[in-house]
Amino acid sequence: MSFVPHSDADRRDMLAKIGVSNIRELYSDIPDSLVRDGLPEMPDALSEWETVKAIQELADRNHSLICFAGAGQYDHFVPAAVDHLIRRSEFYTAYTPYQPEVSQGTLQVIYEFQTMVCELTGMDVANASMYDGPSSAAEAAVMARAVTRRDRVLAAGSLHPHYRKVTETYLHGQGSELQTVPIDDRGLVDRDALASALGDDVACVIVQYPNFFGVIEELEPLAEMVANAGALFVVAADPVTLSLLRPPGECGADIVVAEGQPFGNPLSFGGPVVGLFAAKQKYVRKMPGRIVGATEDVEGRRGYVLTLQTREQQIRRDKATSNICTNQGLNALAATIHLSLLGRAGLRKVAEVSTRNAHYARSRLEAIEGVELLYPDSPFVREFAIRTEENSRAILERGFSAGVLAGVSLSRFPSLGAPDGLLLAFTEKRSREEIDRLIDVIAG
Amino acid sequence: MARFPYTAEVTPTIFEKSSAGRTGTVVPEGDVDTPGVEELIPAAHLRASPPRLPEIPENEVVRHYTQLSLKNHHVDRALYPLGSCTMKYNPKVNEATARTAGFVGLHPFMPQAGAQGALELMYDLTVWLAEIAGMEAVTLQPAAGAQGEMTGVLLMRSYHESRGDGETRTKVLFPDSAHGTNPATAAMAGFDAVELPSDAAGRVDIEALREALDDGVAGMMLTNPNTLGKFESDIIEICDLVHEAGGLMYMDGANLNALMGVARPGDMGYDIVHFNLHKTMSTPHGGGGPGSGPVAVKSHLAPFLPVPRVVRNDDGSFGLEWDRPESFGKLHGFYGNFGVMVRAWTYMRMLGRQGIRGTAEASVLNNAYLTSLLETHYELPFGRGMHESVFSASEIKKRTGVKTMDIAKRLLDFGFHAPTVYFPLNVPEALMTEPTETETKESLERYAEACIAIANEAESDPERVTTAPHDTPLRRLDEGRAARELDLRWTFESED
């Protein structure tokens, strides 16, 4: 099945009007040696029905487990209205809003999205989205280097290893490295270590909030130390928890990044999701990515356009703040609609129920031999790490057989230097009965 | 002519529609018996006031975003001829398959035994893309074309570092007609972006290339067909020259729709090519993403690709391989935009080997037909392109004062989107037009008629054109004001 609409007669008429006798003549600029004789080595064409059947067979080979895995992606419920609206052709078959007069829908959505991101993070300005949380963190490091004209980037040892790896990759291109600031025995950034790592060549410090182990970092003292050293304070947040926790903007953050997946976007094996990126007003001209601003049309009506485009690659080329152009527009739309449906009480309820589920699990796990909390004295919201005497991968296998995804094994991430154990995440979708099943799996 | 329905009124923001105490969805209370969060989380960590999200019933949320949607031009409404963007029809089945239950609920940390279908789908896609590229290895991780480009230049860096040339090979070449992302990406990856002039035919100037080549060159980024839609006929020689100087050849695959199944970047001599699945493989553009920018490479670059790699194990199962010591790292939190890959798999599987080539040929046929209808009314400084042609309004401007931007805006009144304007930079008053293969002959004719009507209008009633658009949800917007008086978020009236 193909989507070429022409009949043989159409093709003949068109070729005649063009003045060539066959399509091959339209490829005459390509040297003969490069034009392939046959068709590519791929399967033969299928009908739509056969394709759907083939997809279903693939999908059926994936398992559906009760999900206690988090580590950046969370199994939240998304109301049907979200998917209904993002499936409107008007949204999903449009392009980046280059002609604002016929793109007001997309543009106003982004303006609303930017506002919501600012409200959650406590920051002044936000962009139209990034690819995901990790690349947002990497772009924050790149931006901080440009703002401060300094070289070194520091990150807490409790930053998600994937965030670290992506940031390292972006920095390697720039000839810079990411240095780790160790954490203390409560899972918090070691302030003495931070003090000795800071210096007048440090561009920024990246801290996760709550951190990879779920621990709520104390941001304000860190922000003060970072500011005193003339560096930028970058916070990578779990945005669901920001409906409960003090927003990073209130605690001295210069840039806040986040993985926005929990808002409106299914897990979908890790993507597409949506990176959130917000900053203080004074850095707006150094920000990466699209930004929408309000203005008026010639008749004085309020409208929206892409603005500050002189930061971007299509104008500035090699002097651009970033190379990003296509972002995650439709995922940002899903986030905006989901947050509109939840409202302030709904989002708080999602975070509260998730938190209470996590703390219920904690209370049950404390009674199990061979299991202890990795950081028992530190506060957490909806995710926490346990140390297990039994090999965590064996627990995950037991869970797999029992229909439970029993978290994420800490041994996946040797760079963390953590003991073997599991990172467990909780959402509002989990019931007491499901959590009890998780406990049974871990107890063995 | 498709006019916009009942959208001329300004839609208040979602925040202005909020009314305290309303909600659009009910979140269940949960059934565990813990204390409330105030007792679970120390007070010092709790925020004093909630984020000011709107409070609106579901019906009104749906109406708000439905109303906004109606102010968008989109592919399902009419032709969307943005050059280099490949705004082809997005088959509806793509949206259905991407939402298959076994895919949408899959956590990226699902053990590999529980994700075999997803991994096989990804593996298939790497095989098919490698075949179309004429290369040996593919990563699906880049989330968009620009991240694919980033992958390309980081591969150049790793390759030269592995050979001890990392410090000295600091330059990446690109032609003056290149997409802005090429120099932006090279600079972001720490290279000096060196622009080469094009020759009189709009192609790479071989002499200028020879002069620029030395042992400081890491590689060259070259779109093919280039942004004028012209195939770089000297591509074999260009690749040879760059290789002789020790550099690598990177193809920006934005324009691959013209070539797929017909000619392969690998056969031309390229070492690296990126795909835009949201262009070439019909996954939608989503109003600005999500995209997907897989990268194919020759085998000598495969060790440097980002982790994890999707592999087929000896027992026939599929896996993710993380232990790749020479890999340059990672670009995405997980494996890339998987949901976009499902759509691309769907499309490529339906097209099959016959449809892949037929699609490319029809995209070139459609552009040639549209060009034949327009070339007597608009200048074509570099001639007809393959899948896209770049027209110029500079003669019209000289005669009538009507600029390319005015023509673009007037096209909106006729129910079409505008072409890409003022790009590439080597064509004054450029109108870069890519119709794609999914438009019928009649659709192309209607678009051409509109363009011709506007050209005539420029002579007879230029003011009608310079004051366009007239029939769109809003009229021309003051972009200068937006940049001067920054208003980037809704301002709440009272601090509640």
Copy the structure tokens of residue B250.
Answer: 């990177």
| The dihedral sign for the CA sequence B446, B452, B456, B461 | positive
Contacts of A139 in chain B (CB under 8 A): none
| The dihedral sign for the CA sequence B34, B38, B42, B48 | positive
d(C-alpha B296, C-alpha B249), whole Å: 12
Nearest CA-CA partner of B201 in B383, B376, B374: B383
Asked whether the beta carbons of residue B188 and residue A242 sit closer than 8 angstroms, the reply is no
**DSSP string computed for A72-91:** T-------HHHHHHHT-HHH
Q: Are residues A18 and A96 in the same domain?
A: no
Asked whether the beta carbons of residue A89 and residue B150 sit closer than 8 angstroms, the reply is no
Q: How many residues are there in chain A? A: 444
**Nearest residue in B to A360, CA atom:** B34
What residue numbers bound the domain in which A177 lies?
80-336
Q: Supply the pLDDT for residue B2.
A: 58
For residues B2 and A142, the model is more confident at A142
Q: How far is B26 from chain A (nearest CA, A)?
A: 7
A65 to chain B, any CB pair closer than 8 A? The answer is yes
A60 to chain B, any CB pair closer than 8 A? The answer is yes
CATH of the domain at A70: 3.90.1150.10
Q: Supply the pLDDT for residue A317.
A: 85
User: For a pLDDT cut of 70, what percent of chain A falls above it?
Assistant: 100
Calculate the dihedral angle through the C-alpha atoms of B10, B14, B17, B19, rounding to the nearest 10 degrees.
-170
Asked whether the beta carbons of residue B69 and residue A59 sit closer than 8 angstroms, the reply is no
DSSP B113: G
CB atoms within 10 A of CB A145: 19
Q: Are residues A363 and A239 in the same domain?
A: no
Question: Span A423-432, mean pLDDT?
Answer: 98
Domains of chain B, each with CATH number or no CATH: 94-349 (3.40.640.10), 360-481 (3.90.1150.10)
Residue A266 backbone class (left: φ over 0; alpha: ψ -120 to 50; beta: rest): beta
**Nearest residue in A to B48, CA atom:** A246
Chain-centre distance for alpha carbon A42? 34
Is pLDDT above 50 for B496?
no
User: CB-CB: which of B361, B373, B478 is closest to A296?
Assistant: B478
User: Which of B1, B106, B492 to mutate to test binding with chain A, by most A CBs within 10 Å of its CB?
Assistant: B106
Q: Are residues A260 and A127 in the same domain?
A: yes
Contacts A–B by Cβ distance under 8 A: 709
Is pLDDT above 60 for A371?
yes
Contacts of B105 in chain A (CB under 8 A): 64, 67, 75, 266-267
pLDDT digits (tens, 9 = 90+) for A161-190: 999 999 999 999 888 989 999 999 999 999
Q: How far is B270 from chain A (nearest CA, A)?
A: 12
Q: Are residues A132 and A219 in the same domain?
A: yes
d(C-alpha B405, C-alpha B472), whole Å: 15
Nearest CA-CA partner of A243 in B284, B45, B310, B252: B45
Residue B215 backbone class (left: φ over 0; alpha: ψ -120 to 50; beta: rest): alpha
Q: Supply the pLDDT for residue B494.
A: 67
Asked whether the beta carbons of residue B51 and residue A116 sit closer than 8 angstroms, the reply is yes
Asked whether the beta carbons of residue B438 and residue A26 sit closer than 8 angstroms, the reply is no
Residues 6+ apart with CB under 8 A from A401: none
Question: Span B399-419, mean pLDDT?
Answer: 97
A141 to chain B, any CB pair closer than 8 A? The answer is no
> Which pTM was predicted?
0.98
Instruction: Please report whether residue A343 resides in a domain.
Output: no
Q: How far is A256 from chain B (nearest CA, A)?
A: 15
Q: Supply the pLDDT for residue A211.
A: 98
User: Looking at B192-267, which runs of residues are DSSP E strands?
Assistant: 192-196, 217-221, 248-251
Instruction: Please report whether residue A355 resides in a domain.
Output: yes
Is pLDDT above 50 for B456?
yes
Q: How far is B489 from chain A (nearest CA, A)?
A: 5
Domain final residue, candidates A315, A336, A357 = A336
Q: What is the largest CA-CA distance in chain B?
A: 79
Q: How far is B456 from chain A (nearest CA, A)?
A: 22
Q: Are residues A97 and A140 in the same domain?
A: yes
Q: Supply the pLDDT for residue B263.
A: 98
Q: What is the largest CA-CA distance in chain A?
A: 83
Is pLDDT above 80 for B466?
yes
Residues 6+ apart with CB under 8 A from B100: A55, A56, A59, B342
d(C-alpha A332, C-alpha B290), whole Å: 9
Note whether B490 and A112 are within 8 A (CB): yes
Question: Span A254-265, mean pLDDT?
Answer: 98
**Nearest residue in A to B305, CA atom:** A169
SS3 string of B428-460?
A: CCEEEECCCCCCCHHHHHHHHHHHHHHHHHHHH
Instruction: Please report whether residue A238 resides in a domain.
Output: yes
A167 to chain B, any CB pair closer than 8 A? The answer is no
How many domains are there within chain A? 3
Instruction: Please report whether residue A342 resides in a domain.
Output: no
Q: Are residues A161 and A254 in the same domain?
A: yes
Instruction: Please report whether residue A92 resides in a domain.
Output: yes
Contacts of B183 in chain A (CB under 8 A): 313, 317-318
User: CB-CB: which of A126, A316, A356 is closest to B37?
Assistant: A356
Q: Are residues A262 and A384 in the same domain?
A: no
pLDDT digits (tens, 9 = 90+) for A31-76: 999 999 999 999 999 999 999 999 999 999 999 999 999 999 999 9
Nearest CA-CA partner of B496 in A119, A336, A234: A119
Q: Are residues A157 and A277 in the same domain?
A: yes
Instruction: Give B495's pLDDT tier (boundaries 50, 70, 90).
Output: low
Instruction: Please report whether residue A403 resides in a domain.
Output: yes
User: CB-CB: which of B106, B352, B365 is closest to A62?
Assistant: B106
Note whether A31 and B264 are within 8 A (CB): no
Mean pLDDT of chain B: 96
Chain-centre distance for alpha carbon A2? 34
pLDDT digits (tens, 9 = 90+) for B194-253: 999 999 999 999 999 999 999 999 999 999 999 999 999 999 999 999 999 999 999 999
Q: Supply the pLDDT for residue B327.
A: 98
Q: Are residues A208 and A282 in the same domain?
A: yes
Is pLDDT above 80 for A319?
yes
A353 to chain B, any CB pair closer than 8 A? The answer is yes
User: Which of A21, A51, A109, A163 to mutate to test binding with chain B, by most B CBs within 10 Å of its CB?
Assistant: A51
Contacts of B144 in chain A (CB under 8 A): 131, 324-327
User: CB-CB: which of B41, B337, B349 is closest to A379?
Assistant: B41
A7 to chain B, any CB pair closer than 8 A? The answer is no
Residues 6+ apart with CB under 8 A from B424: B176, B177, B178, B227, B228, B390, B430, B432
Instruction: Give B6's pLDDT tier (boundaries 50, 70, 90).
Output: low
User: Which of B7, B17, B69 to mutate to test binding with chain A, by most A CBs within 10 Å of its CB?
Assistant: B69
Is pLDDT above 60 for A405?
yes
Q: Supply the pLDDT for residue A265.
A: 98
Residues 171..210 of A with a Cβ closer than 8 Å to B: which?
172-175
| The dihedral sign for the CA sequence B322, B326, B332, B338 | negative
Q: How far is B85 from chain A (nearest CA, A)?
A: 8
Domain final residue, candidates A310, A336, A362 = A336
Q: How far is A326 from chain B (nearest CA, A)?
A: 5
Instruction: Please report whether residue A423 resides in a domain.
Output: yes
d(C-alpha B53, C-alpha B55), whole Å: 7
A151 to chain B, any CB pair closer than 8 A? The answer is no
Instruction: Give B7's pLDDT tier (boundaries 50, 70, 90).
Output: low
Question: Span B285-306, mean pLDDT?
Answer: 97
Domain final residue, candidates A303, A336, A369 = A336
Instruction: Give B193's pLDDT tier (boundaries 50, 70, 90).
Output: very high
Tokens 């090279």 correspond to: B186
CATH of the domain at A281: 3.40.640.10
Q: Supply the pLDDT for residue B3.
A: 67
Tokens 């905006």 correspond to: A336
CB atoms within 10 A of CB B200: 7
Q: Are residues A233 and A330 in the same domain?
A: yes
Question: Span A294-311, mean pLDDT?
Answer: 95
Q: Are residues A222 and A251 in the same domain?
A: yes
Q: Are residues A187 and A322 in the same domain?
A: yes
A262 to chain B, any CB pair closer than 8 A? The answer is no
User: For a pLDDT cut of 70, what percent of chain B falls above it?
Assistant: 98
Instruction: Please report whether residue A3 resides in a domain.
Output: no
